[in-house]
Amino acid sequence: MRETDRRSMLRLGLVFVLTACLSATSLADDANRIQPYPKNPYFWQYKGRPVLLLGGSDDDNLFQWERDKLAAQLDTLVACGGNYVRNTMSDRDEGNLYAFARVGDRYDLGRWNEEYWRRFESFLRLAAERDVIVQIELWDMWDLTRDNWARHPFNPLNNVNDTAAESGLLTEVPFAPAEGPTKHNFFHTVPELENNQRVLRHQEAFIDRVLAISLPFPNVLYCINNESGEPPEWSRHWAKRIHQRAKEHGATAQVTDMRRREDITHATHRTVYDDTEVYTFADVSQNTGNQIRDRRLQYRRLLEVRKYLADAPRPVNNVKIYNDNFGGAPKFLRNVFAGLASTRFHRPVPWNGGSRGLALSDEAQRILRRVRTFTNSLDWFALEPRPDLLSHDEGVYLMAQPGRQYALGFDGSGSVELDARALPGPAQLRWMKMGDGEWIDGGRVEPGRVSLKTPEDGLWMALIQVR
C-alpha cells in the first residue's frame, strides 16, 4: 500500500469517527431545525415558527471570507430584513482555499486543509447566531470544468493519490456544465453508475466532513449540485447519504437538487419533484435564467410547479435570482407573490461584468426591507397564489386568503380587477411603493369586483384586509 493510500484510509477513518462523535454531542433539537411548516408545507418553519426566507449576498461561497468581513455582511443582511444565504462549497475564485493539503506543487486527497474547514464551521456558527438560514450546495459544477478543473485537486494531474490511469478520470474538461449528462465521469463514480470506488472514497470523505461540521447546526438546507444535468443517480446517491448521516445522529435533513435546464417544468426537474423519498424541497432558481424573456411565463411556471407538488406539498426555493431580463427586483417580487418559500438575489459574477445579481447592494437592501415589512403586516403563511381572482396576470400577482386578506404585487405601473366578493364586509386598502416603503391609505373596499390601479409608476404592493 502506498503511503498516500495509507493516509487516505486513515483520513477516511477519522472522518467516520468525527461523524460518529456527533451522536454524543448536543445536536439541535430536531423540532427547532429548519423544516416544512406543518400548517402550510409550501413554506418553512424555524425554531417552531413559520418563516419566509429572503436574502442576498455579495458571494455564493461566503465561508471562504475572512471572519470580520463575513460578520459584517451577515449583520447588513439581517438589518434589512434578510435571513437567507447561499453557500456553495466552491473554491474557484481568486484567493479561495481548497479543502485539501498542498504537498509541493500538488495536493494530497488524504490530508485536509484545516483552515478551509475552520472557516466553514465559523461561517455556520455566525449565521446560526443571527438566525440566518444557509442553503449549502455540495458540488458546484462550475468548479470542476474548464480551467477550474485544470487546477483542481480532484484532477489526477494535481494530486499525489491517483494517476489518471488509476482514477479513470478525465484530465481535461473543456466544456461547461450542460442540460444533460456529459463525458465528465467525476459525476459518474457512484455505484449506480460506474462504481469508481477509487475516486468515490475521496468524494465521500469530503461530503462526510461537510456533514460532520454542518449537521449540528439547525439552520442548514442541503442542495446536491449547482446546475446539474448529470444523471439523477449521481444526485440521489448524495441525497441518500445526507439522510443516512442525519438519521445516525437523530436529526432530520432537508435536501434538494438544482437542475440546469431553465424550464422548471421539464422532465429533468421532475426527477427531483417526483422523488419524495430523498428530496424534501425544490429549488427553481433556473426559472430566472437569461433565456426566459416572458415574465408571465416565469410566473406561470412557478404556479405549474406548485400545482405539480400538490399531492405532496413541499417548500419551493429560489436561491439565486439573475438580474438579466426584466431585472432582479421584478423577479424577486414575482417569486414572493407566487408563494415561494425562499428567494435570494444572486451575487455579481466577476467574469460577467458584475451584472448577474443585485447581491446585497443598496437596491437589494431596500427591496428586502420593503418586502419584509409588507409580509409581516399580514398572516402571510395563510395565503396561497390566486391568479384566478384577477382579471389578468400581466405584471400583477395575487396571494390571498379569500374573504380575509389579499396581497397584490405589481412589477410596474398597472391596473387590475380583483374578485373580492368573498369579503364579509368593508375592508381596508393600503399601498406600499417599493421605492420609499411608505404606506398609502387606499380607502375602504366593499365586497364585489374591485378595480385597483397603482398610484404612480414603479413597483408596488397592495394589501386588502378585513378590520
pLDDT tops 90 at residue 118: yes
259: which DSSP letter? B
Question: CA 280, CA 283: separation in Å to the nearest integer?
Answer: 10
Give the pLDDT band of residue 348 (cuts 50, 70, 90).
confident
Instruction: State the pLDDT at residue 249.
Output: 87
Read off the pTM.
0.93
* Confidence tier at 19 by pLDDT (50, 70, 90): very low
Task: Let me know: does 12 contact 205? Beta carbons within 8 Å.
Answer: yes
Predicted local confidence at residue 289, as pLDDT: 80
The whole-chain average pLDDT of the chain stands at 93
* Span 79-94, average pLDDT: 97
- 385-399: pLDDT as tens digits: 999 999 999 999 999
CA distance 61 to 81: 21
Q: pLDDT grade, residue 374 (50/70/90)?
A: very high
Q: Is the pLDDT of residue 317 over 80?
A: yes
Q: Are 222 and 136 in contact (CB under 8 A)?
A: yes
How many helices (H) and strands (E) in the chain? Answer: 11, 21
Cell, residue 50: 413559520
Q: Please check the confidence at residue 65 and state whether its pLDDT lies above 60.
A: yes
Q: What is the structure's pLDDT at 292?
A: 67
pLDDT at position 11: 54
Contact of 284 with 315, CB cutoff 8 Å: no
What average pLDDT does this structure show over 328-356?
A: 86
Look up residue 414 and give its three cell numbers.
Answer: 398597472
Tell me the pLDDT band of 326, cut-offs 50, 70 and 90.
low
For residue range 213-257, list pLDDT tens digits in order: 999 999 999 999 999 999 999 999 999 999 999 999 899 999 999
Per-residue pLDDT at 316 exceeds 60 = yes
